Amino acid sequence: MLSENLDKDFCESLHENSITPISQYVRQLGQNKTLWVINLLGKYAVENVSDIIEQKNSYTLKNTGNIFSVKEISASVIQSEDFLLERAEKIQSATKLNMTILTPASFKSDKKYMLFPSEEHILKGLIRRWNSYSEKYAIADEDAEKALILGTKIAGYSLKSSYYELKGIKIPAFCGELRFSNKFSPPIAELCKLLMCFAPYCGIGIKTSLGMGAVSVDFCEK
């Protein structure tokens, strides 16, 4: 529905890249009320999508005929990745954090869907998305990446299996809560905080541009 309103060349570029600069999801708030969250990661996405979103007051799903009327639009702009760096620096501790998976998430390994998340898949995915987004602060230190993964553990979880239906295919997935415990040096702790501040904007796992893998993150002191 969104791509039908976007520039053709821009849409083709989205299909060509494994990591797209759009992350979105939908949550039902009531019987006739839906929240549609669209994250535009970088200037290229903002320039091609933001004006269209702001100008349209309704959308139509062609395959069902459903019409969605836009009642309210709110937007927040992050001028650069420095904002996320500063936000991460203000967080006192990253030793424990909770991640809530808002929409069904899934990972793929050896061409198979994973029914349970792993620290490695979550963190490597966040690093790839950060490097695709950031123009100034790419994470290219393999030793730092290894230290981050080795020092991060899933300490608890409350998950349930789910499916995400897409074009008639049901993708095995999960949603719920993950609790992480971390133990590493201060520089790696800063890296962890940065990625977890970025996670709500980019999501985790596969098909985040199509509504999967939306998350929120809470940092805990205890």
Instruction: Give the domain-ending residue among 37, 69, 101.
Output: 69
Q: Looking at the domain assignment, is residue 74 inside a domain? A: no
Looking at the structure, tell me whether residues 60 and 99 fall in a common domain.
Answer: no
Q: What does the pLDDT read at residue 222?
A: 54
CATH number for the domain spanning 106: value is 3.30.70.1900
Looking at the structure, tell me whether residues 98 and 26 fall in a common domain.
Answer: no
Q: Looking at the domain assignment, is residue 61 inside a domain? A: yes
Q: Looking at the domain assignment, is residue 181 inside a domain? A: yes
Measure Cα distances from 50 to 3, 44, 76, 108, 176 in Å. Answer: 13, 10, 11, 31, 30
DSSP 21: S
Looking at the structure, tell me whether residues 57 and 131 fall in a common domain.
Answer: no
Looking at the structure, tell me whether residues 39 and 119 fall in a common domain.
Answer: no
Looking at the structure, tell me whether residues 104 and 208 fall in a common domain.
Answer: yes
Looking at the structure, tell me whether residues 157 and 186 fall in a common domain.
Answer: yes
Q: Looking at the domain assignment, is residue 76 inside a domain? A: no
Looking at the structure, tell me whether residues 37 and 104 fall in a common domain.
Answer: no
Q: Looking at the domain assignment, is residue 114 inside a domain? A: yes
Q: What is the pLDDT of residues 77-116, one digit of tens each?
A: 988 899 999 999 998 876 789 999 999 999 998 889 988 8
Instruction: Give the domain-ending residue among 47, 69, 91.
Output: 69
Q: Looking at the domain assignment, is residue 75 inside a domain? A: no
221 band by pLDDT with thresholds 50, 70 and 90: low
Looking at the structure, tell me whether residues 208 and 107 fall in a common domain.
Answer: yes
Q: What is the pLDDT of residues 175-218, one digit of tens each?
A: 999 999 988 888 999 999 999 999 999 999 999 999 999 999 99
Looking at the structure, tell me whether residues 197 and 125 fall in a common domain.
Answer: yes
Q: Looking at the domain assignment, is residue 206 inside a domain? A: yes
Instruction: Give the domain-ending residue among 69, 93, 118.
Output: 69
Inform me whether the pLDDT recorded for 37 exceeds 60: yes
Whether the model pTM is above 0.85: yes
Looking at the structure, tell me whether residues 137 and 196 fall in a common domain.
Answer: yes
Contacts of 124 (CB under 8 A, 6+ apart): 145, 149
Measure Cα distances from 112 to 16, 128, 206 in Å. Answer: 22, 20, 12
Inform me whether the pLDDT recorded for 46 exceeds 90: yes
Total domains in the chain come to: 2
Looking at the structure, tell me whether residues 122 and 60 fall in a common domain.
Answer: no
Mean pLDDT of the region 119-137: 94
Q: What does the pLDDT read at residue 189?
A: 92
Domain residue limits at 64: 3-69
DSSP string across 62-100: TTT--EEE----------SHHHHHHHHHH----SEEEEE
Looking at the structure, tell me whether residues 85 and 65 fall in a common domain.
Answer: no
